[in-house]
Amino acid sequence: MARPARTPLGPALAAVAALALLISLPASAGRTNQSSALWHVVHDLCVTDMKVSGLPAPCVAVNLGQGYAVLKDLRGKTQLLLIPTARVTGIESPALLSRKSPNYWQDAWDARPLFERGAGKPVPREDLGLAINSEFGRTQNQLHIHIDCLKPAVRDALAADRDRIDDTWSDFTVPFYGHHYRVRRVSGEDLAPHDPFRLLAEDPRARDDMAHETLVVAGAQFDKDKSGFYLLSDRADLAHWNEGAGEELLDHSCAALTEPAVGGH
């Protein structure tokens, strides 16, 4: 078999630009035959280029051993997408609840150095958020975790309520954009001991219908010596115009980099 030709950079960037436009469309724009565009960018371009040339273009990183790629979304200066290199449709995939499934949330958190490179400065953990939308709040049928700044209002609301949030799911006291999230916390510097998909599925209602769930993971500093994360979940409710898009809690303008947290970091 002849060695495949390396993907030209121009067509690759054009593909990513087209993909960014598709992802930026609301899910209500409707499913099209482009719902596999993200999969094709990662599988046909990034993975192929990594295998052939040792470069991940048009992705910024490809880890063949751990099975994920990191792609710069064209929206915003800093937003990244963490995408499996295996075919995984989204949050509803039963494979994500298997003990053999990679912890893609940890992989996304491990992309912080790439995120900070885009930000041009170190980013406090409480300014960083990870989000996956429900099946009804996305346009792409390949799992992708959004990595970007939290909206300052979300960051500050979580910090203000930190003494009430514990390690069990409860209703968050503050609605965000008319949506009522549930919240819990986990402790630790990283997510290796805690796969948020499985923590969400501890709720039987979520486990029985993961397609309707959206999930956000926010870095947290509980006190000077104790780090962790807040997990926020919501359910799509199309009858009330809620598509289950937790990405709404992220800020693709990354205002957190210039707006200090209430009380300082």
Q: What is the pLDDT of residues 136-145, one digit of tens each?
A: 999 999 999 9
Residue 8 has pLDDT above 90, yes or no: no
Residues spanned by the domain of 53: 9-257
Residue 3 has pLDDT above 50, yes or no: no
- Which pLDDT value is given to residue 7? 37
Residue 216 lies in a domain: yes
Residue 139 lies in a domain: yes
- Decide: helix, strand or coil at residue 4: coil
| Mean pLDDT of all residues in 134-161 | 97
pLDDT digit string (tens) for 169-216? Answer: 999 999 999 999 999 999 999 999 999 999 999 998 899 999 999 999
In percent, the amount of the chain with pLDDT more than 70 equals: 86
- Which pLDDT value is given to residue 22? 46
CA–CA gap between residue 167 and residue 253 (Å, rounded): 31
Average model confidence (pLDDT) for the chain? 89
Check residue 242 and report its DSSP letter.
Answer: B
CB 143 within 8 A of CB 37: no
Domain CATH code at residue 225: 3.30.428.30
- Which pLDDT value is given to residue 259? 80
| Mean pLDDT of all residues in 84-109 | 97
Q: What is the largest CA-CA distance in the chain?
A: 62
- pLDDT bin (cut points 50, 70, 90) of residue 19 is low
- Which pLDDT value is given to residue 5? 34
- Which pLDDT value is given to residue 258? 87
**Counted domains in the chain:** 1
Residue 4 lies in a domain: no
The H or E element containing residue 18 is: helix 9-24
Residue 262 lies in a domain: no
Residue 29 has pLDDT above 50, yes or no: no
Residue 264 lies in a domain: no
- Which pLDDT value is given to residue 46? 98
Residue 27 has pLDDT above 80, yes or no: no
